[in-house]
Structure 1
Amino acid sequence: MQIQQINNYWIFPVLLVIGTVFASKQFSLWTIIFVGYLVVRIFCTRNKHVICVSFLCSFFVLCNCMYLELKETKCNISEPFESTGVLFVLPDKIRVDGDQLQLEGIFTGAKINGLKVIASYKISSEKEKSVWANIKVPVKLYLSGTFEKPIGQTNLNGFDYRKYLKEKGIYQTIKVTSLNKIQASRPSMLQIPQWLSMLRKSLILHCERVFFKETAQYIKVLLLGYKTNEFSEFSAILAELGILHLFSLSGMHVVFFILLFRYFLLRIGISVEKVFWLQVFFSFIYAGLTGYSISVIRALMQANINAAKERFNVKISTLDCWSISLLISIFIHPYILFSVAGQLSYMLSFFILYIHPISKQVKSSLGRSFVFSLLLNICTIPIIGISFFEWQFAGIYFTFLLLPYFEKVLLPLLSISFFVSFFSQFRYWIQGLEYYFTLQTTLFYWLNKYLSYKLVIGSFSKFLFVGSFISILLFVYYLEKKSNKAWFVLALLILILNHKYLTSKGMVAFIDVGQGDSIFLQAPFHQENILIDTGGKMDFEKESWAKSASKRINAEYSVIPFLKSQGVQCLDKVFITHGHADHFGDLVKINEKIPVRALYFPSGTEKSQEFSKAIRILQKTGTKCYAILANDKLESCFDLQILAPKNSGIGGNDDSLVIQTIIAKRRFLFTGDLEKRGEQELVRRYPNQTIDVLKVGHHGSKTSTTDSFVQNFQPKEAIISCGRNNRFKHPNEETIQVLERNQTSVFRTDTMGMIYYEWYGIGTLHQAKIIKEQD
């Protein structure tokens, strides 16, 4: 067999395929070096089968990448446009959250034909919400809507929604303006994916109907791979504990269900040969019932390749099995390794191949389990460095303790309860399950609050990512050989984890928080981290049915991930300019995730009821709170001068804290929401004092930034922090004209995303950088 001719060499075709994909997508010197090295190394094998298979696979994938690029170019319509057509949606692709409906399906219309899209629609009533939530069959929606390109990354190292959708083959979103008709669409017998979608949705609805909230959530996540918005806050806690992988359908879950399936068939007398083919069929069905998630498909492929190896007596290594499964995945989805799920699933399964031999050297079963958990946790470092930015050291212990519990207690308990529920629904058992899982969820929250330890490592550059990956490979290799070199490599890995203390880079960043303000200052060598305002938004009252199930706030998608990407373990100082929610609304949540050592605010702001409540919460966690006025002195790495307010106020716009500082020989002025009266007072007290960078007051409203103010301070650059398509129409055209008349360059977060400046050591400040959407 040809497959046997490259036994133990399948890693070469898959590496060349990976290099080809990255070279076609992110062409750079690094990819040229990587691909060039692989080509030379493959020829050095002198195995014609390895060489032929490697280059054939590479050519096939390159053609696939070119096809996807052409498809993307065709779908790359930057300007919004109106269209009418039909959207075909499978039942398990209908998501209802409060009064918001999200649909993923195939759109056919006058301008677009057969395009996969995400559509959003506002539900008008509780009755309509119930109808959408209980749809069990594929539907055709006759609608009109506005097509838009998905929003891209707007903050440094932040979530890129456009990239996320692109990895799923989605290049446009629709905002539905009118829904004319909903028509059920029964699939034919051969349309198996549609039948699986219907079955999955029926199982989800059965689960929600029979079980209470917490139990249903566990069953939907662990058995059906269905994560609702209600699960988002809980998943954030699990991620901080370092055990989110236990709640994501993965190799552990797949092995459990495959073994259970095989055991049942063998017990009823089916031959081993027939069990293999039934396992392949079961794998296809199970993949559909779990939504074809990357980790499930990877685990199922590896399980079936291993089973085929035994069934047909093919001698290939476990590394070959891993390589073939990845090769098949890339053939189907070339950009799979650009997704976090793909990176985690394949990287961790790769490292597991090398961890098992080491853990087996430990004699006791508990010792083996602990060593496995320890090494697996260390192996997550490269992915954490490019995606999550914080390493949960306590996750080692939690994984060690919970992995046997998941395998031997939780999964069997959920599986039996779920299957039995179709035949018998014992009320006391269902209530008991709810009490049990409510207690378990509470325990996880308690563990995260009191027993977790997170090391915020910050964002890895490509060099650090490669360095950490190679370091882990060497560490595992030397550990298996019982060489003392392992400890030298471990010391190097610890150095990489603390790279933030070795860089002389400083930063001033105007974070994109939508309609609000948040400014971050970081001193070189991580000496001091300061935040001026936190962002936040006003909550508008809705009926209970219309409220979102997710309680996550804007800062959890903007400020907090960015701060962690900069290695911020805690904030040395937070300044709140005044008592409006768009400047302090996310303060409490930020303090929960990244502790605040000292809080400063203009005297009188504490009179605001909501701000006063926030102060009390922070004080209970150990934050020192200070009310300050103009000319108060502060100890800081930065030369911070408080220019206003001069007198105690009530926390309004003209009571805003005005801060001036000189950073890398350039003068910054941060004005909060200062309006005309406050600006006039500032001009009177500081005449002819020029600055370089101005944070424009009140988001560019016409109530701020007068001609006299700009002429007095003569800023070279002005930053306007405001939300895209905000209801206040900020920034006002008059404000833009005032700045342009005075030869001031204007930067806006609504059109440019984050604006930031960097400098190194005692060097000068670099030019402003922006996170611009690539249209």
Structure 2
Amino acid sequence: MKGNSFYFAAAALAGLVIVLEGNIALSLFAVFLMYLFALIKRFSKMLILLLFITLLIFACRGYFAEKGNHSVLSGAEKTFQLELSEMKIDGNSLSVNSRDRKTGEKLLLAYKLDSQKEKQLLRNNLVPGLVCHVDGILEKPMQAANPNGFDYRLYLERKQTFWILEADSLMLSRCSGTASHPVAKIKRLRQSGIAYIETEFPGSLAPLAAALVFGERGLMDTSLLEDYQKLGIVHLLAISGLHVGLLAAMILYIGKRAGVPSKRMKFLLLLFLPVYAVLTGGAPSVTRAVLMLMCMLIYSLAARGKKKLQPIDAVSSVFAVCLFFSPHIVYEPGFQLSFCVSFALIISAPSIFKNLNHWISQSVAVSLAAQLASAPIILFFFYEISLFALFANLLYIPFFSFILLPGILLGFLLHILSGGNAGLILQVLEWSAGMANLAAGKLGSLPGAVLVLGKPSGPALAMYITGVPALLIIWERKKEHFTLKMVAGMLLLFSFQPLEQKFSPKGEITFLDVGQGDSILVSLPYGKGDYLIDTGGRLQFETEEWEKRKDIFDPGKDIVVPFLKSRGISRLDRLILTHGDADHIGGAAGVLDEIKINEIVFPRGGEGGELENLL
């Protein structure tokens, strides 16, 4: 296994995807590529056989995962006994991940809150593990209504959730007892910790603290998240290998200073890490980091420190374990990004780092390799890449690693242990976080912060899959003129999509489903023009402050803009507004915020003049 674990991970992925995608041509092509690669690498017959067996095992695992991924409920059920899990409250909307105790099936409980009093009551009393009797109607989640749109139904199905339970009411009198299993207890502790940060920390620091301590980004302002995303540093707000490694190092250091034997500290760390994974939300990035560290600790203890588990063996083993126990996780962007970047850095870093002695040059190399490895996945899911990512990561990673993350962890512990007497450290952290957020906002709003390329087509995806490894290999070998080759290769690679769109002979008219109202995109052949007719919109009604949602749905921002970006459109030749009714131009402001427009056309006079003047 040693030295070949990466190939077993690749075989596992191939076997799983072959079945989950159900594409015969893809299946045969994948098997052919693997066999060809094995011949080129001159693998032994035994190794080829073992790789093929691995592929078959994971293909079978994928088959049974797909076969068992269905609901056992008919949809006619009305009454349920639910064990509640994570809760989210946004304005007058409450949603809770839950499990039906009778069938064991996951349900997403949705409830519209009636009053501020009820909102506060449920916020304080609904905890993970609570068992409640709930009456309601089962509804199927929404499917994608537009090309490249988010398919909420498919997203939930891959998490084994097939129904949304629209509750008639949610009364605490119908809830009794809480589950006593360890996971529920840890989740209750997590919810309490997040609530503590929300109420006790300064308002501007609390969202960042909740994200870095518990992996909870629900408190963060949407615009701030967008700023971090535009800079390519949103990964710093998710618990990952950086956070897990720093925390583990801090724990081992404290144990060493306290005189605790190294072996005992490693055992304690092994017990703590699974708890930490649940405590921080169990995202793919934290799961990967925790399992990798556990593998390395177990190997170290078993070998009594004489041998170390190689990082590539650790990450490959964890990758295969994750795929086996949760096959559909392969579709999650966080999972793909976490492992893709890890594999790229572990495989390429030793060669890339040769002759790089300064930490700045090493940091630039790591950041560039990570950006290259993650670019195809980011484009596939989010349609744009940050042009400031390299610079921003060089600034923000040291700041988060050595100042903000340790400071917030220390401040959180001191605040609890001292009974709230950690005001000074929180003030310093609040100022530091405020400066970081301000800088992110300024940098993210600069022209050219992001490059919109769109969702890669099949040929473009093939280019990325072959081109990115080729660039990393050129970099590793560092032969003559490798810098010129790298620059030329990157320009060629990231020019493919714009050129593909520019020389496409297809014209297209797309009628978007924006709910109320209309929105139509007309794209001319050979990239000669893109025209948007209306933007959709929705009527706004007066609501009380407690009812207002954090991110109000806007068809322009939430439907039209993502669709345009998925087509690689960052500039419209013309926006045509047929008339001033809110359901036709209400989303225009959201479009104008994100998309450059050469010309806006709308009729003079008529109704809706106020909205037209607003534009």
Question: Normalising by structure 2, what TM-score?
Answer: 0.92
Letter in 2 for 1:577: T
Shift of 1:451: 5.9
| Structure that is richer in strand per residue | 1
Partner residue, 1:326 = 319
Which of 49, 52, 69 aligns to 1:51? It is: 49
Letter in 2 for 1:492: L
- Aligned-partner Cα distance in 1 for 2:588–2:570: 16
Q: Do residues 380 (structure 1) and 377 (structure 2) align? A: no
- Aligned-partner Cα distance in 2 for 1:35–1:139: 48
Q: Do residues 101 (structure 1) and 94 (structure 2) align? A: yes
Provide the secondary structure at the position in 2 that maps to 1:335.
helix
Shift of 1:456: 0.8
- Aligned-partner Cα distance in 1 for 2:54–2:441: 47
Deviation digits for residues 30-68 of structure 1 (CA, Å, limit 9, x no counterpart)? 23210343256568622536634x455444434433333
Deviation digits for residues 164-216 of structure 1 (CA, Å, limit 9, x no counterpart)? 2122221111111234543242333xx11111111111111111121122211
Kindly indicate whether the alpha-carbon contact (under 8 Å) linking 1:76 and 1:171 is maintained by their aligned counterparts in 2: no
Kindly indicate whether the alpha-carbon contact (under 8 Å) linking 1:75 and 1:171 is maintained by their aligned counterparts in 2: no
Residues 273 and 502 of structure 1: is their aligned pair in 2 closer, same or farther, counting only changes over 3 Å?
farther
Shift of 1:471: 1.0
Residues 328 and 149 of structure 1: is their aligned pair in 2 closer, same or farther, counting only changes over 3 Å?
same
Shift of 1:441: 2.6
Provide the secondary structure at the position in 2 that maps to 1:15.
helix
Which of 173, 187, 190 aligns to 2:179? It is: 187
- Aligned-partner Cα distance in 2 for 1:179–1:365: 56
Which of 138, 146, 152 aligns to 2:129? It is: 138
Shift of 1:157: 1.2
Provide the secondary structure at the position in 2 that maps to 1:81.
coil
Unaligned ranges ≥5, structure 1: 1-5, 615-775
Which of 162, 175, 178 aligns to 1:171? It is: 162
Partner residue, 2:65 = 68
Q: Do residues 283 (structure 1) and 273 (structure 2) align? A: yes
Q: Do residues 299 (structure 1) and 289 (structure 2) align? A: yes
Unaligned ranges ≥5, structure 2: none
Q: Do residues 502 (structure 1) and 494 (structure 2) align? A: no
Letter in 2 for 1:373: S
Provide the secondary structure at the position in 2 that maps to 1:214.
coil
- Aligned-partner Cα distance in 2 for 1:431–1:545: 28
- Aligned-partner Cα distance in 2 for 1:65–1:76: 23
Residues 368 and 430 of structure 1: is their aligned pair in 2 closer, same or farther, counting only changes over 3 Å?
closer
Shift of 1:469: 2.3
Letter in 2 for 1:45: F
Shift of 1:433: 4.2
Kindly indicate whether the alpha-carbon contact (under 8 Å) linking 2:107 and 2:162 is maintained by their aligned counterparts in 1: yes
- Aligned-partner Cα distance in 2 for 1:229–1:517: 33
- Aligned-partner Cα distance in 1 for 2:203–2:118: 21
Q: Do residues 17 (structure 1) and 8 (structure 2) align? A: no
Partner residue, 1:209 = 199
Q: Do residues 81 (structure 1) and 81 (structure 2) align? A: no
Q: Do residues 219 (structure 1) and 209 (structure 2) align? A: yes
- Aligned-partner Cα distance in 1 for 2:35–2:298: 30
- Aligned-partner Cα distance in 1 for 2:139–2:608: 44
Residues 250 and 460 of structure 1: is their aligned pair in 2 closer, same or farther, counting only changes over 3 Å?
same
Shift of 1:82: 4.4
Partner residue, 1:521 = 522
Partner residue, 1:697 = none
Deviation digits for residues 250-302 of structure 1 (CA, Å, limit 9, x no counterpart)? 12111111111221122212222222222211211110101111100101122
- Choose 408-417 or 521-530, whichever is displaced more: 521-530
Shift of 1:405: 0.8
Provide the secondary structure at the position in 2 that maps to 1:363.
coil
Partner residue, 1:467 = 463
- Aligned-partner Cα distance in 2 for 1:71–1:263: 46
Which of 336, 340, 344 aligns to 1:343? It is: 336
Provide the secondary structure at the position in 1 that maps to 2:249.
helix
Letter in 2 for 1:117: L
How many pairs were matched up? 599
Residues 612 and 88 of structure 1: is their aligned pair in 2 closer, same or farther, counting only changes over 3 Å?
same
Kindly indicate whether the alpha-carbon contact (under 8 Å) linking 1:9 and 1:50 is maintained by their aligned counterparts in 2: no
- Aligned-partner Cα distance in 1 for 2:448–2:505: 30
Kindly indicate whether the alpha-carbon contact (under 8 Å) linking 2:456 and 2:497 is maintained by their aligned counterparts in 1: no
Provide the secondary structure at the position in 2 that maps to 1:104.
strand
| Structure that is richer in helix per residue | 2
Partner residue, 1:572 = 573
Shift of 1:553: 2.7
Provide the secondary structure at the position in 2 that maps to 1:114.
coil
Shift of 1:479: 1.2
Deviation digits for residues 213-232 of structure 1 (CA, Å, limit 9, x no counterpart)? 22110111111011216443
What are the within-5 Å matches in structure 2 for residues 608-623 of structure 1? 608-614=609-615
Letter in 2 for 1:396: L
Deviation digits for residues 405-441 of structure 1 (CA, Å, limit 9, x no counterpart)? 1111111121111111102324455455445434433
Shift of 1:73: 3.7
Kindly indicate whether the alpha-carbon contact (under 8 Å) linking 2:556 and 2:589 is maintained by their aligned counterparts in 1: no
Provide the secondary structure at the position in 2 that maps to 1:322.
helix
- Aligned-partner Cα distance in 2 for 1:354–1:280: 26
Aligned-residue RMSD, C-alpha: 2.3
Kindly indicate whether the alpha-carbon contact (under 8 Å) linking 1:238 and 1:444 is maintained by their aligned counterparts in 2: yes
- Aligned-partner Cα distance in 2 for 1:51–1:282: 39
Provide the secondary structure at the position in 2 that maps to 1:7.
coil
Shift of 1:375: 2.7
Residues 64 and 537 of structure 1: is their aligned pair in 2 closer, same or farther, counting only changes over 3 Å?
same
- Aligned-partner Cα distance in 2 for 1:182–1:452: 55
